[in-house]
Amino acid sequence: EQNQALGAMNVDKANTEAEIEALDVQLTSVQEKIDATNAELQKTEEALEQTKKDLETAKEKEKKQYETLKIRIKVMYEKGDTGYLDILFAAKDIASFLNSTEYISKISDYDNNLLQSLQDTRKQIEALEKQLEEEVARIQTLKAELEAQQSELQGLLDEKAAYIQSLNQSIA
């Protein structure tokens, strides 16, 4: 009976050793996942920092553009349309009249460009804020994945330790 029990323990030992080898393969796979997740997490955190810098720059740019536009609107309000009419009526001949209309056209283009630039900057800020939110969400997801993978790794390590302890008890 002792020989049969010892034979059964040797078979159990061989099975346990095979299971331990399988666990080692799983451990390697889980560790690779953890390493990949850590790398992606670091990359995403770097992208997040860059997005924060870009957002700050865009907000500063928007502030300056808004101030410039406020000044321009104030000047337009104070001068009104009569400023343009005064320029046109001050023309002495057709050449100066055409120059005046070109001057007014350039002012108008400048105003439109200023407004368009402000709108573009605001759209850029919206896009950066959305990107920032997505990167923060991605970081949270990656951290959750990392915790799950580390928990899985710890479970496999505990299982391996239990197998070894069980094997040692059986042989004893």
How does pLDDT run across 68-125, given as a tens digit for each residue? 888 877 877 776 655 666 666 777 888 887 777 787 778 778 878 888 888 998 899 9
Q: What is the largest CA-CA distance in the chain?
A: 127
Q: Report which of residues 159 and 50 the model is more confident about.
A: 50
Residue-level pLDDT at 83 = 62
Looking at per-residue confidence, does 38 or 53 come out higher? 53
pLDDT value, residue 57: 93
Q: How far apart are CA 29 and CA 57, in angstroms?
A: 42
Q: 19: how many CB neighbours lie within 10 A of its CB?
A: 14
Q: What is the pLDDT of residues 148-160, one digit of tens each?
A: 887 887 887 787 7
- Span between the terminal Cα atoms of the chain, in Å: 16
Residue from 59, 66, 72, 80 nearest 110 by CA = 72
Residue 7 vs residues 15, 20, 109, 170: alpha-carbon distances, Å: 12, 20, 95, 11
- In a 13 Å sphere around the CA of 13, the CA atoms on its Cβ side amount to 12
State the average pLDDT for the chain.
82
Confidence (pTM)? 0.57
Nearest CA to 126 out of 48, 62, 43, 41 is that of 62
Q: Is the pLDDT confidence value at 29 over 90?
A: no
Give me the pLDDT at residue 172, please: 74
Instruction: Look at the alpha carbons of 42, 43, 48, 49 in this order and tell me if their dihedral is positive or negative.
Output: positive
**What is the SS3 assignment for 122?**
helix
